[in-house]
Each structure stands twice: as structure tokens, then as C-alpha cells.
Homo-oligomer: A and B are copies of this chain.
């Protein structure tokens, strides 16, 4: 039986995803529940470890809501990690202190590829339970976004076994044994589709696919090894959530601006952009059928409030006037950073960012 939840009070983010007119430009931040918040660090230290935090429904709910208590953000995003899926496949995820993620059992040869399977979704029950718990705790304040890594981005970590600066192992497999790479990617696509659908069934109101490492691929390889599998996932997603509302699908390829025209053909509602892309140019390239999300350089949050405001205006202006026709769809923008917020960000600079986005985007609509 589907859970039932309180009615949504702030639908600005969902409306913008569906290219409907809004009173202002909604904003949320990638990694908004994170180490720059002292209350997050306190909960994490209670939990003992990153995975201790992510796998505990109460902790995950608590940290997801923390940034919303501080800032009038327009969406919440599930607190979790993209590597939960390969962990459930049996790869043995750990986060060593001060280092990134690491897999005990990376997938580097034919035997390891042969053993890969779509994980039993019960192993990821803690994620779906967190989604339901967060939705309840939100009480309709703002919508909840679920997410997953893209099939390619998961494959990068699964083959490399950790982060990488040259992607030598995963690209060696891609070029030497494309058959093995396609098998991994197919398993990942099947897993990601099931994983996101279970998040939707648990109450997620939008879903985002993070193709964090799509931008390291060569032209040609990107289309074949990343975009094609993202596209497969999109085609298999449940279109309506537990409230019978459409669930918008967001795709973010870091460093993917080069392929924006091709991404414009994806069957999704929103494209996320990093800070290298001009939003006006992106709008022209992508065409009328996608909302755009992004794209402030997170490092701007180290500057003074005045400078942050100036950069917010620059980003909003670069998108150009959002449409205001209540009876039609048209170009819309969802404000975000072009990448996750830095752990060193001063929390009060985020207040300044959110307030600048809300007030300047309202002013823009009055002028237009």
C-alpha cells in the first residue's frame, strides 16, 4: 500500500521542473545537507561514520531537514550516497577518514563482471524507508528529490575501486573490452531504474540522475557508454508518484556542456548544468522542452555577500527572462550550484545566496 502524505505547501520547484510559470526562481543546492553545517557534523559524529548516517533512517531524516530549518530552500534532497547501489551489489563500500569512498571488491575482469547482478532491492530498504520518513517529516513544506548515480558514473567507481584522476582502469576496460563495459552498464541501468522507481514508490516527488563523470569521456564514447544508458533508465521510470503527480526527471552531467544538444533529446524534464555553461546559450541549444537547473560556481560562496549577490544576478540574467504565462509552459530556471557545496562554505553566505535568488528573481518578473 502506498504511503500517504500531507499536501504540498510550496510547489515552486515542481512547477519550474514542469516549465510552468512561478512567482520567483526556486533554489536548492546539491549536497545542501553536508559538512558546511555544524549541526550536520554533530549528527554525523553521533552516527560514527558516513554509512552509519546514511543507513539510519532517523539520522538520514534529521540531516535532510537541517538545511531547510536554516534556509527557505524550495526542495529537499534525500540524504544518501550514489554508491549505495554498487554496495548492495556486494562491492563492499567504505569511507576511510579523510579519504573518499573505496570498494573492497572492484570489478576489473571478466569473472567479476560475470558475478554482477541487479541487487535485491531489500538491501536498499534503508534508502526507501528514509524517503518515506523524510516525506512525513517534511509535512508538505517542500517537495523531496530522490537520486541515483548514472550507470556510467557508478561503473567508474566500480572499476576504479575509488575516485581517480585519469580513469585509466575504467577507460582501459571500455576501450579494450567494450563487451564487458556494456555488461556492467546494462546491469547498472537495470539497477538504477529499479532503485529510482522504489524511491518514487516510497514518496520521492522528483528524481535526479547524477552523471558526475560523464564529462571525462571522449566524444563518441560519451554517447555510447553514458548517454545511451541514462536514456534507458529514463524510459523505465514510473511517471507518477504516490500522490498521482508527475515525477520530474533531472539529468546532470558534470562537464557535459559539449553534448548539450544531444542531452536536449533525452526524455526528461530538467537538465542540470555546471558553471562552465552560459545559461542563455544553453537555453538556445536545448530548445523549448526542458527546464534548466544550475549553475553558480560553489567557490563564489567564499566571496563577500555583495559579490555573491552580483554573481547571483549574473546567473539569473544569463538565463534571461523566465516566462510568466500561467496558461502555458515555457522556459524555466531552477537555481542551483554547478556542483556540490564545499564543506568550507560559511553557512551565513548560503542565507545571502538564497535570499538574493528569491528577491532578484521576483524583481526580474516585475520588470519583464
Contact = CB atoms under 8 A, between A and B. Distances in A.
A220 B314 CA distance: 9
A218 B166 contact: no
Contacts of A255: 255, 276
Residue with the greatest number of chain B CB neighbours at <10 A, chosen from A166, A257, A276, A311:
A276
A344 B168 contact: yes
Interface in A319-368: 338, 342, 344
Given A166-B342, A311-B175, A222 B299 contact: no
Interface in A288-319: 295-300, 302-304, 307, 311, 314, 318
Contacts of A304: 176
Interface in A22-55: none
Interface string A198-219: 0000000000000000010111
A299 B159 CA distance: 15
A278 interface: yes
Contacts of A218: 275-276, 295-297, 300, 338
Interface string A152-190: 000000000000001110011011100000000000000
A175 B303 contact: yes
A46 to B, nearest CB: 27
A6 interface: no
Interface in A223-257: 255, 257
Given A166-B342, A168-B342, A299-B168, A276 B175 contact: no
Nearest to A273: B219
B172 A302 contact: yes
Interface residues of A, number: 39
Contacts of A258: 257-258, 276-278
A8 interface: no
Interface string A267-281: 000000001111001
Contacts of A275: 218-219
A104 interface: no
A252 to B, nearest CB: 16
Contacts of A314: 220
Nearest to A314: B220
A282 to B, nearest CB: 9
A222 B314 CA distance: 14
Contacts of A278: 219-220, 258
Given A258-B257, A276-B255, A276-B258, A299 B219 contact: no
A167 B304 CA distance: 18
18 contacts: A166-B298, A166-B342, A168-B299, A171-B302, A172-B303, A175-B299, A175-B300, A175-B302, A175-B311, A176-B302, A176-B303, A176-B307, A219-B278, A219-B281, A219-B318, A220-B278, A255-B255, A255-B276
Interface of A: 166-168, 171-172, 174-176, 215, 217-222, 255, 257-258, 275-278, 281, 295-300, 302-304, 307, 311, 314, 318, 338, 342, 344
- Of all A-B residue pairs in the complex, the 4 with the closest CB atoms, nearest first, are A171-B299, A175-B303, A218-B275, A172-B302
